[in-house]
Chain A
Amino acid sequence: MPILQVRDLKKVYTTRFGGQQVQALASVNFAVEPGEYAAIMGESGSGKTTLLNILAALDKPTSGEVLLDGKNIVTIKEKDIAAFRRDHLGFVFQDFNLLDTFSIQDNILLPLVLAGKTYKEMEGRLLPLAKRLGIRDLLKKFPYEVSGGQKQRAAVARALITGPRIVLADEPTGALDSKATDSLLNLFDQVNAEGQTILMVTHSTKAASHAKRVLFIRDGEVFHQIYRGVSSTEEMYQKISDTLTLLAAGGEEDA
């Protein structure tokens, strides 16, 4: 059974003045299998962010369902959403979203503290994770004292520490230089190899080329997808670029 199943997801925004309707998602259908590493690509305005917000239970769709382990997250009550998000989902954001009032360690522990875990258990989870992600020496530092790449590693640690069913990453390399980007993508590969399911939204071809499957969204629908199969990252990169070129050309034809 897929971990995540999205069925006929539709989102229509009504503008505040004039009541004009804008369709962000027309009909999105896809599924993510356990242990999969999928990327969603699309241009600005294609509906990527709307889709991710709905998957993260930050926004409600107009119609359609999102099943996580067979449970429809669209119908979860408002008061349970925060706990649901904390226990089942992990997030990595473009701008890290670390709190400047907390040390790196406390930022990583935040979800566990919110879940009411004991300090002993927190420590038991934190140390091996920090070692795996190579940020053990940074734990006592504050966000303003470390580099962007290090911040994003801390954010990944925060996403992983609850042992989520799926990690949702929103443009995780968007604010990183190329060296830090490579390092983060290798980290994602490693984490995925250990069995973690990852769904990433990006418009970076390089980031997407690390995924096992890439879905392309255009005009609020899944337009195309490619599987990596046995191809190398470089071949995958080439396939994605070709598809994007095709998409861009097709887009102009449509217009």
Chain B
Amino acid sequence: MHNAGLYPKLAMQNIRNNRKFYLPYILALAGDAAAIYIMSALVKDPGVKNMVPGRPNAYAYVSVFMTMGMVIAFLFAAVFACYINGFLMKQRKKELGLYNILGMGKGHIAVVLAVETLFIGLLGIGGGIAAGVSLHKLVSLVLHQLLKMPVPFGFYISWGGMAQTAALFAALLGFTLLLNLNRVRVSKPIELLHGSAAGEREPKTRWVMTLLGILSLGWGYYIAVTTRTGMDAIVTYFLAVGLVILGTYCLFTAVSIAVLKMLRKNKAFYYKTGRFIGISGMLYRMKQNAVGLANICILCTMVMVMLSGTLSLYLGTADMVAEQYPGDVNIAVSYYPAPFADEDPKEWRLFDPNAMLAAQTGFMESQGFHVENVRTSYSLGFGTGKIAGGVYTTDRFNKAATGIVMMTVLTEDNYTATTGESLGLAPGEVAAYGVEGDELTLRWTVHQEGTELGESHFQIVKHLRRNPSFDPSIAELATIVVADDQAIYDIWARQAEAYPNDSSSMRWFAAVDVDASEDELAALQDRYYDAIEDSSFYEGTGSWARCTWNLRSEGEANAYGLAGGFLFLGIFLGFIFLLATVLMIYYKQISEGYEDKERFEIMQKVGLSHGQVKRSIHSQILMVFFLPIAVASIHILFDFNMVEKLLTMFYIHNTAITAVCTLGTVLVFFAVYGAVYLLTARTYYKIVER
């Protein structure tokens, strides 16, 4: 081997001969490299940085999301490259053994492997960066579209992004090369030659794993289904995910084998043509593929959760904006309907909503804008502990309390103004959402101290199907509509007594539409902040604690910055994970094909007809490939409740949209998976039937 030109030639030839294995690997590397380059370039792109002057939030979101995406994509690429590389080396053991026996030293093999890796790197990383550069503009357009931002001009190439991508992947490939060299170093040629012919033992039933799998899956599902609030969901999400992942691995590795063995024990059932071949075949396949199938299942679940969740968030954002920002300008005032002990009652005046509204609209009119469509409402919200059907206590951490419930109180006037429905409530009567029973009892107990201050009782005359008020909350939500101001002020006074240090305020809310452009509104808000420096601005509005302005345009931009960023990331990572899933299916088909070939030849010799063989192959392969996605769909079904609760943390509570997004994602995923299966199945049949 003195001829140095031989190594590149040999390496090139090896890659070409094994192109069935290497081409998808190189494509996957390129895809991931392209994704990482694009994300890196988006962070560095000056066009993105200056996306909207004066809205630094949006850039901050993009930057954080892309950095997060890069980390995930790279970690993923690393795991995946090691996995595929291991698979490739297993397939090539024999070939390398042959080289060794034909007189190539291990050093020579190492050089060949190194040159091969170099070629793969050049093709994969180079191709990936090239694809990334050419797709960057398109992706950036999509991103701006999702974020609802004006599209930037110009074409940007990020040299830094290229260097970063190349360095990351060079390190990764270098690492896989080291793994391979170590594999060759410790192997004996005869082992290399017989590499793929190691005997397969029959799988044992592992009862502990089986039990563990059933328990952890059951527990994970239980958590997911019983989660009642967004806060619960955040706290328990990762526990549930962990349990389900553990359960999935056990399900595929142990539970499946236990079930198949039980079926085999039933002789009358087992000894029938289809089942006989099917059950024993599946038993063998599950042993070989359990981990791979569990991986595919978990990947599928992740992709589907990510896509359906981010899509629901994005599509629900319009509703959320309309609900949170009903007017072009939204004014919120916190006030207390009675003076506190440390206030001078002579100085104190009850908050006057009309005066406040007049001051605000007067200011807008004075700036030359026309104000219309004025809507106002007020409410009270405070935390309670749920005791049992219809009984709530203000001592919410009390042991008797089963959960924390955010209690919102509205007056009938407010309810009728938003819904158009009249309730005709008498004093002592309420209409309620989220409260069980015919009677509502509010037990006034000093918070974390326990002094009993008595109870208030209300007759529930109507149970509301929809929550008339929505606030994202760490707690469950309940809303009651009371007869009049007297009733709401009374409740306020009682809770103020029960929460001596942190009582809730009343909240007054006004939404107005202003005939002005977005820019004009932003300018108006600036002038408002200047105007309130003058203490006469609020004259006659009475006593209140805080007044805030919220522009819908601002809220919308922020919401889309967040939701669009999430969706973008969801699609982007979903794409990478899908790529990985496709590749795993492909490699599985090939490896299954080589193993099944011999088995089906024997069956044909012993008297199985060609048609029977084909049917048997088909049903087993179908089972192996659709099992992961079927299980993933069940995961999604159980996960739905949790995603729904998590979304409430983003003010999204439209179950219909979430359901449609989830179902749509699952269906699209099934279609893509099915298409990939059909395409790769051809490779499989070619191998088996040759």
A residues near B, CB below 8 A?
Answer: 56, 58, 78-79, 81-83, 85-86, 91, 93, 97-103, 106, 109-111, 113-116, 118-119, 122, 142, 144, 158
Contacts and interface: CB of A to CB of B under 8 A. Distances in A.
Contacts of A103: 202
A113 B609 contact: no
A112 to B, nearest CB: 8
Given A102-B280, A106-B276, A85 B607 contact: yes
A83 B271 contact: no
A114 B272 contact: no
A158 B280 contact: no
A99 B609 contact: no
Interface of B: 199-202, 267-268, 271-273, 276, 280-281, 283-284, 599, 602-612
Given A99-B599, A101-B599, A119-B271, A82 B605 contact: no
Given A101-B284, A113-B276, A79 B271 contact: no
A110 B276 CA distance: 8
B248 to A, nearest CB: 24
A79 B610 CA distance: 8
A111 B273 contact: no
A122 B271 contact: yes
24 contacts: A56-B605, A81-B609, A82-B604, A82-B608, A82-B609, A83-B607, A86-B606, A91-B606, A97-B606, A98-B602, A99-B280, A99-B603, A100-B599, A101-B281, A101-B599, A102-B280, A106-B280, A110-B603, A110-B606, A114-B607, A115-B607, A119-B267, A142-B201, A144-B201
A56, A82, A106 interface centre (most CB from chain B within 10 Å): A82
Given A99-B599, A100-B200, A142-B202, A82 B268 contact: no
Contact of A111 (B200, B268, B606): B606
Contacts, number: 71
A144 B273 contact: no
A102 B602 CA distance: 12
Contacts of A100: 199-200, 284, 599
B281 A109 contact: no
Given A97-B605, A106-B276, A122-B271, A82 B202 contact: no
A158 B611 CA distance: 22
Contacts of B607: 82-83, 85-86, 110-111, 114-115
A78 B202 CA distance: 35
Contacts of B271: 109, 113, 118-119, 122
A109 B272 CA distance: 11
A142 B264 CA distance: 15
B386 to A, nearest CB: 57
A39 to B, nearest CB: 21
A60 to B, nearest CB: 14
Given A102-B280, A106-B280, A144-B201, A114 B608 contact: yes
A101 B606 contact: no
B608 A99 contact: no
A56 B606 CA distance: 10
Contact of A101 (B283, B604, B611): B283
Contacts of A79: 609, 611
Contacts of B611: 79
Contact of B273 (A102, A106, A114): A114
Contacts of B603: 99, 110
Nearest to A107: B606
Nearest to B613: A82
Contacts of A56: 605
Contacts of B612: 82, 114
Given A110-B607, A114-B273, 17 more contacts: A78-B610, A81-B609, A82-B604, A82-B610, A82-B612, A83-B607, A86-B607, A93-B605, A100-B199, A100-B200, A100-B284, A110-B603, A111-B606, A114-B608, A118-B271, A142-B201, A144-B200
A113 B273 contact: yes
Contacts of A106: 276, 280
Contacts of B602: 97-99
A16 B257 CA distance: 45
Nearest to B283: A101
A144 B202 CA distance: 9
Contacts of A97: 602, 605-606
